[in-house]
Amino acid sequence: MSRRVLVSDCEIASNIQLILSDVDGVLTNGQIVFDNSGIESKAFHVRDGMGIKLWQRAGFKFGILTARNSQIVRIRAAELGIETVRQGFEHKWPAAAEVIESFGLTPEQTCYIGDDLPDLPVLQRIGLPVAVADACQDVRGVATWTTRASGGHGAVREVIERLLRALDRWDEIAEIQAK
């Protein structure tokens, strides 16, 4: 019988330098809407965006890794200053490994936030695997953290705030933003 070793948020957060996130079902609620002209739209939660900006202001890296290709993802990433955007990767681990290596980091220094089966190969190899509240059972089963919020409803902000609070950086970063 295997036992999970309880590790404090502070211990976990002290190692994390990079957050990689899926899009559909994590940064959005998972719905993909097409209009009559075939134009795709997605809804992003504003607090996730603020959390990403705060994470980056604190000196950390954030990237997007998604199996689909979408112009709206490029637009949202640019709006948030996210330079690392990898789209169209059905097999996510090779893309994640390339991103991690490009920053001179290790998988143990990486957090990945996912919700469905294509995320498993990444979640199983990184330091902090996170599942959103409405992730599939397999993803929740490998996650070290599971958010209270569902995908598209502030789950990414929840993870970022938890990490920054564990590092005792939240008040400093939030105060800078409030000025």
| Beta bridge partner(s), residue 111 | 19, 128
Helix, strand or coil, per DSSP, at residue 157: helix
Consult the annotation and say whether 22 binds a ligand.
yes
Q: Is 119 annotated as a binding residue?
A: no
Using alpha carbons, select from 159, 117, 107, 162 the residue that is nearest to residue 142.
117
DSSP 45: -
**Cα separations (Å) of 56 from 9, 82, 141, 160, 175?**
19, 9, 29, 10, 15
How many Å apart are CA 81 and CA 128, to the nearest integer?
Answer: 23
SS3 87: strand
User: Taking Cα atoms as reference points, which of 79, 75, 59, 69 lies closest to residue 32?
Assistant: 69
Q: Which two tokens stand for residue 84?
A: 């690392």
Cα separation, 28 vs 13, whole angstroms:
24
Look-up: residue for tokens 């390339």? 98
Annotated binding site: 22, 24, 115
Binding-site sequence positions for Mg(2+): 22, 115
Sequence ranges of the binding site for substrate: 24
